[in-house]
Structure 1
Amino acid sequence: MKKTFYIISGIILMIVILYVLQSLLMPKYIEDIPEGALVSEYYKEDKNHDLLFIGDCEVYENFSPKVLWEEYGINSYIRGSAQQLIWQSYYLLKEMLKEEKPKVVVYNVLAMKYGVPQKESYNRMTLDGMKWSKEKIDAINASMLPEEKMIEYIFPILRFHSRWSELSKQDFHYLFHKDKVSNNGYLMNADIRAAGKMPKPRPLTKYKFSDNSYAYLDKMVELCRENGAELVLIKAPVLYPYWHKQWDKQIVKYAKEKKLTYINLLEHIEDAGINFNIDTYDKGLHLNVYGAEKLSRYFGKILRDDMGLADRRSEKELSEIWKDKIISYETEKKEREERRVVE
């Protein structure tokens, strides 16, 4: 009995030590590269959203759920991540639709240009934050580059064991807890760097989106219809990466064939009141908080008037939740304004 006890205790102790070491060595994505923390933050939220955004930085940096709530009573969440590829968006959405039934899903179409996996570091910022499920396994299999291994996703310590020399104070500070980095998935920035004149786009040798991208978009359409959600395709109104007319024509055609709504917000920059001298923090690649708030006011009206999303501000419990969210948002905005960079 004593021998069995010692063996079991030893195994438990080893598991605890490995878990702590793994937690220490994995990137924390709080003070540096906060977008790597976005996927996991969704699990802490109440699953009661009428609107879900999915996609890359063109959703999580350009739309403000706080404004959608204050102006229109739309309860929304952004499930974005850096360079989120379309198959990753599909599996994240599939996972979310098991937990909640939104009325509208908004997908930003820029990632259609990627037909194959791109980069491990971006894969990690999406996949490591997912809870273990069939969707996560499928997303990993669809995303891995030839040099990546499933075992390193199952046991991240095998991938990050060499980070010993890179450890900093924040690795120890955030060992057992993580501060929130987003506001319902929105990543805020208050800096102002004017866009200036953008260079002419380089012509491509091939403009047609890959069969793989279309296959996952088809799956997304079917998934939304099975779950009673309206899929809305958008292109965010940012100046770079350049959105080619040939790409836009393909999405217009696809939306027409599938009877979907597609809104190219690049065509509505003036309508939204966006000014790229003051509403971008990185010279036109993304909107800052001022641009995101303008875009959200404009897009929220479309969601209310054309998509029929209801005003839920009369719901006492939900309104109480949003009171705390708004305080957090405004506090962060004030702090960022106090140290913002203007160029």
Structure 2
Amino acid sequence: MQALSLSQHFVTRQNMKKNRRIFLSICHIVLWFTVVPLLLAACSGLSPKITRTPAPAERSFLINQPKKDQKFASPAQIEKITPITNFEYRLGPGDVVNIKIWRRPELSQEGIVVSPDGLIAIPRVGSVNVLNLTQEEVQKIITVKLEPLYIKPEVTVWVREFHNNKAFVLGRVGKPGVINFPGKGTLLEGLALAGGLPDQGKLTRCAIIRGRENVIWIDLQDLLKNGNMALNAPILNNDVIFIPELNDELIYVMGEVLNPGAIQLKDGMNVLKAIMLAGGMNKNANAEKVFVIRQQNVNGDVIRVDFKRLVERGDFSQNFALLPDDIVFISPTGMAKFNYTLDKLTPALQILNLGTSDAETFGIMAKLRQNLWNQSGFVNSSTTTTGN
């Protein structure tokens, strides 16, 4: 009896060890195929955190299109760089002048072209430098030179063609190049002579470059749409008018959209337009978690947009206007993160489908049979053996 009891005790201990091995094997399987993927899924992808730091006024999140950060010139600043003296035309290279000397037809000349170095040639007088001189000043010079030769010469000088009252118009205009003003030039006249603005409703600014030190930016929308003529700056000789090309600023759409990437910032750009231009959300997108990241300084601000609420309830308080370099990030759903992790792990994770054929393929069922029935090998395999 004592020998039988010892035998039963031994068998019981063996069963307990076998059951313990089976239990540990099952625990390992459960941990590997459930907990580990969930932990990895939680770590996969980006997850913006909403900031609570209030943004500066000029960079805060608004519903309406915010004003650009561009510093435009005020009427006072325009007046400051414009000479106060009355406009007087001064001769320069390319101008065509006529000279009439009363009762001296042999000295009168028509169609005299001012040379690149500012000289004109007159009979009995020779070369005269007229660069940057007015008509009256040229008349006096010629009169003084003729007085030793003639009694009280009467000299008249007038400009037949003006070529020294010019500006250079570059950028987004119909006909960029050199323009010539017949009189006192202004910004609007310069833009008109250059063929006008092809995208008048979208262009917002232009620069006037004067000399080597003065550059001012003009708010074209205020000038053209609001009729603020105080911004119609006088244009001086050799000024440069520059209208930047459209779409020189970008925003970035990332995350669960069909075509993530950089998008050119257009007038009236907001969250809805940006997502649509990126192809719209894909099936993995979480419409309740859209984020706008905006740079303030070294650190940025992040605000959450409930896009689902925007679409389903028409809550346009969620449709924030965008600024240059804004980032729109569309988060994935929790299931999308989980599926992403499954795709990136080993193919053995397909055991979650609970198919016994898959479990058999990856050797899990063989492990269980070894622990339960002391069998080795695979089902339908010629190597399957039965232990004693």
Query: What range is the shorter-chain TM-score in?
Result: under 0.3
Name the structure where strand makes up a greater proportion of residues.
Answer: 2
Taking structure 2 as the reference length, the TM-score comes to 0.18
Q: RCO greater where, 1 or 2, for CA within 8 Å and sep 6 or more?
A: 1
Q: Could you say which structure has the larger radius of gyration? A: 2
Taking structure 1 as the reference length, the TM-score comes to 0.20
Name the structure where helix makes up a greater proportion of residues.
Answer: 1
